Amino acid sequence: MSRASWFGIAATLTLSASSFNVFGEINALTPAEEAQGWQLLFDGNTTKGWHPFQHPDAKSAWEVQDGVLTVNLKASDVQHGDLATDKVFENYELQFEWKSPVEGNSGVFINVQETPEHQIAWQTGPEYQLLGTAHKDNDDPAKRSGDIFGYTSPLAAAKMHSDGQWNHSVIKQNNGKVEFYLNGTLTSSVDFKSNEWKNWLSQSRFKDLPQFSASSKGHIVLQEWTSPIYFRNMKVRVL
């Protein structure tokens, strides 16, 4: 094979790697996914469909960089804070890919109520924890990545991908029953309507928040915290 032919193949492979991953084309739906009812939550180019939590008309610190949704922690003259979907969701399956710095700490909240009396997303919405591989909270069964923050899951911890690689997460909710997955492993499974959950809640750090997990319908919210976080391939389908 000539050197020119080899470089041509290498260039093609590089282009393919930048446009596709193991789940298909980045920030796009396959015909099969469209037939199954999947919709993109992030189009890969804009923050359309999202707004700063509690500030729907403000310019957000969240931005798109090379097909990735992230937050500019140093941005000025913008609204900092969590990013919320414009729509509310009830029975659905959410898939997304994410990566974090090794010491990173962020999360995705579900069933968030955007009301005047609840100015912070975690006051109403349970959190899918997102941590870097070296974050100390990964050693805490109640705070590890891929789990419901604050809840000690009896299920085994999921294996996170190496630094700089994308992790794949799934959140399923149907009639108040929620399952969290990280890289193909079921990490948390709870029924927010069950007595078991309510008993746990009454003794948890959220016991003085009467609206926490009280609704099985609400906004999906991405957390701006103390470190960068990166999202792509965010898609949802109604169940």
Least confident stretch, 14-18, 23-27, 144-148: 14-18
Q: Look at residue 142 and tell me whether its pLDDT is greater than 80.
A: yes
Classify residue 80: in a domain, yes or no.
yes
Tell me if residue 173 falls in helix, strand or coil: strand
The CATH number for 36's domain is 2.60.120.560
Parallel, antiparallel or unpaired: strands 24-25 and 20-21: antiparallel
* Residue 70 is assigned to a structural domain of this protein: yes
pTM above 0.85, yes or no: yes
Instruction: Compute the C-alpha angle 135/137/139, nearest 5°.
Output: 100
| CA-to-CA separations, 145 to 100, 219, 232, in angstroms, rounded | 11, 21, 18
Alpha helices of 1-127 — where are they, by DSSP H? 3-19, 31-35
User: For the chain, what is the domain count?
Assistant: 1
The pLDDT value recorded for residue 164 is: 81
Per-residue pLDDT of 90-135, as tens digits, reads 999 999 999 999 999 999 999 999 999 999 999 999 999 999 999 9
User: What is residue 198's three-state secondary structure?
Assistant: helix
Residue 10 resides in a domain? no
Question: 5 in a domain, yes or no?
Answer: no
User: Is 15 a domain residue?
Assistant: no
Among the listed residues 155, 164, 160, 110, the one whose alpha carbon sits nearest the alpha carbon of residue 137: 160
Residue with tokens 């729907």: 56
Residue carrying structure tokens 């928040």: 209
Domain of 165 in residue numbering reads as 27-238
